[in-house]
Chains A and B, each alone.
Chain A
Amino acid sequence: MPPSPVFNEFVLKFANVNGSGSASANLLCAKALFRMGLPVAPKNIFPSNIQGMPTWYEIRVSEAGHLARRDGVDVMVAMNPQTYDEDVASLVPGGTLIYDDTWPRDFGRDDINVIGIPLAKMSAEKYADPRQRQLFKNVIYLGALARLISIDVQVIHDLIGEQFKGKPKLIEPNLAALALGWDYADTNVTNPPAVQARTADGNAGKIMIQGNEAAALGALYAGATVASWYPITPSTSLAEAFEKHALKFRRDPDGKLRAAIIQAEDELAAVGMAVGANWNGARSFTATSGPGISLMSEFIGLAYFAEIPLVIFDIQRGGPSTGMPTRTQQSDVLACAYASHGDTRHVLLFPADPGECFTLSADAFDLADRLQTPVFVMSDLDIGMNDWVVDALTWDDARQPDRGKVLDEEALEAVSDFGRYRDVDGDGIPYRTIPGVHAEKGAYFTRGTSHTDTGGYTEDGTVHAANLARIARKFKTVTAMVPKPVINTTGATSRIGVINYGSTDPAVREAIAKLAANGHMINHMRIRAFPFGDEVREFADRHDHLFVVEQNRDGQMRHLLIAEADIEAEKLVQVTNYDGMPLTAAFVEDAVTGVLEGGWQVTAAE
Chain B
Amino acid sequence: MTHLAKPRFHHPNLPVNGVGLTRRDYEGVVSTLCAGCGHDSVTAAIIEACFELDIEAHKVAKVSGIGCSSKTTNYFLSRSHGFNSVHGRMPSVATGANLANGDLVYIGVSGDGDTASIGLGQFCHAIRRGLNMVYIVENNGTYGLTKGQFSATNDKHSKGRKGADNLFHPIDLCSLAIELGAGFVARGFSGDKDQLVPLIKAAIHYRGFAVIDVISPCVTFNNHAASTKSYDYVRDHNAAMGQLDLVAEADEIRAEYAAGSSIDVALHDGSSLKLHKLPASYDPTDHGVVLHELARIKDAGGVATGLLSIDPNEADLHDLIGTTSTSLNAIDEADLCPGADALDAINASHR
Contact = CB atoms under 8 A, between A and B. Distances in A.
Contact of B97 (A223, A266, A279): A279
Nearest to A403: B333
Interface hub of A271, A393, A395, A397 (most chain B Cβ within 10 A): A395
Interface in B1-57: 1-3, 5, 29, 56-57
A269 B125 contact: yes
Interface in B302-351: 318, 321-326, 328-331, 333, 335-340, 342-344, 346-347, 350-351
Interface string A271-311: 11111111111101000000000000011001000000000
B59 A223 contact: no
A271 to B, nearest CB: 8
B186 interface: no
A249 B1 contact: no
Interface hub of A266, A298, A457, A460 (most chain B Cβ within 10 A): A457
B85 interface: yes
Contacts of B93: 272-273, 275-276, 279
A472 B65 CA distance: 26
Contacts of A81: none
A407 interface: no
Interface hub of B58, B101, B326, B328 (most chain A Cβ within 10 A): B328
A595 interface: no
Contacts of A270: 92
Contacts of A206: 351
B323 A260 contact: yes
Q: Which range contains the number of A residues in contact with the other chain?
A: 35 or more
Interface in B86-101: 86, 89, 91-101
A207 B104 contact: no
Given A217-B346, A256-B324, A433 B81 contact: yes
Contacts of B336: 223, 225, 250, 258
A436 B59 contact: yes
A281 B330 CA distance: 8
A116 to B, nearest CB: 35
A445 B61 contact: no
A444 B29 CA distance: 12
Interface residues of B, number: 66
Interface string B55-80: 01111010100000000011000111
Nearest to A272: B92
Contacts of A252: 324-326, 335
Nearest to B335: A258
A276 B103 contact: no
A208 interface: yes
Nearest to B64: A447
A284 B100 contact: yes
B340 A280 contact: no
Nearest to B87: A298
A328 B245 CA distance: 60
Interface stretch (A46-54, A372-380, A448-456): A448-456
B103 to A, nearest CB: 7
A35 B96 contact: no
Nearest to B56: A439
B84 interface: yes
Contacts of A396: 340
Nearest to A435: B81
Contacts of B322: 255-257
Given A223-B333, A250-B336, A457 B94 contact: no
B278 to A, nearest CB: 35
Interface in A21-60: 34-35
Contacts of A207: 347, 350-351
A544 interface: no
A281 B100 contact: yes
Given A223-B336, A228-B96, A258-B331, A299 B89 contact: yes
Given A226-B96, A273-B99, A280-B101, A393 B343 contact: yes
B323 A268 contact: no
B350 A458 contact: no
Given A259-B328, A260-B99, A277-B100, A209 B350 contact: yes
Contacts of B340: 394-397
A440 B8 CA distance: 13
B83 interface: yes
Contacts of A245: 338, 346
Interface in A359-390: none
A272 B126 CA distance: 12
B321 A273 contact: no
Nearest to A220: B338
Contact of B2 (A279, A438, A460): A460
Interface string B118-149: 00011011000100000000000000000000
B81 to A, nearest CB: 4
Interface in A129-186: none
B97 A395 contact: no
Contacts of B321: 257, 260-262
A574 B330 CA distance: 49
Interface hub of A221, A278, A437 (most chain B Cβ within 10 A): A221
Nearest to A444: B81
A232 interface: no
Nearest to B88: A268
A280 B81 CA distance: 10
B301 interface: no
A468 interface: no
A298 B100 contact: no
Contacts of A268: 89, 92, 122
Contact of A302 (B85, B122, B330, B338): B85
Contacts of B343: 217, 221, 393-395
A435 B101 contact: yes
Contact of B29 (A250, A275, A280, A456): A456
B170 interface: no
A92 interface: no
A398 to B, nearest CB: 10
Contact of A280 (B56, B100, B318, B325): B100
A238 to B, nearest CB: 15
Given A223-B333, A265-B125, A460-B2, A276 B350 contact: no
A396 B331 CA distance: 20
A36 to B, nearest CB: 12
A459 B32 CA distance: 14
A392 interface: yes
A55 to B, nearest CB: 23
A567 B96 CA distance: 41
Interface in A201-237: 206-209, 217, 220-223, 225-226, 228
A220 B339 CA distance: 10
Interface of B: 1-3, 5, 29, 56-59, 61, 63, 73-74, 78-86, 89, 91-101, 103-104, 121-122, 124-125, 129, 318, 321-326, 328-331, 333, 335-340, 342-344, 346-347, 350-351
Given A273-B95, A299-B86, A393-B347, 11 more contacts: A223-B336, A225-B328, A252-B335, A258-B326, A270-B92, A277-B329, A279-B96, A280-B329, A392-B344, A457-B2, A458-B2
List the 9 closest A-B pairs by CB distance, nearest first.
A276-B96, A272-B92, A282-B100, A273-B96, A435-B81, A281-B329, A280-B100, A277-B96, A276-B93
9 contacts: A262-B95, A272-B85, A280-B101, A298-B86, A302-B86, A444-B82, A447-B84, A448-B86, A456-B29
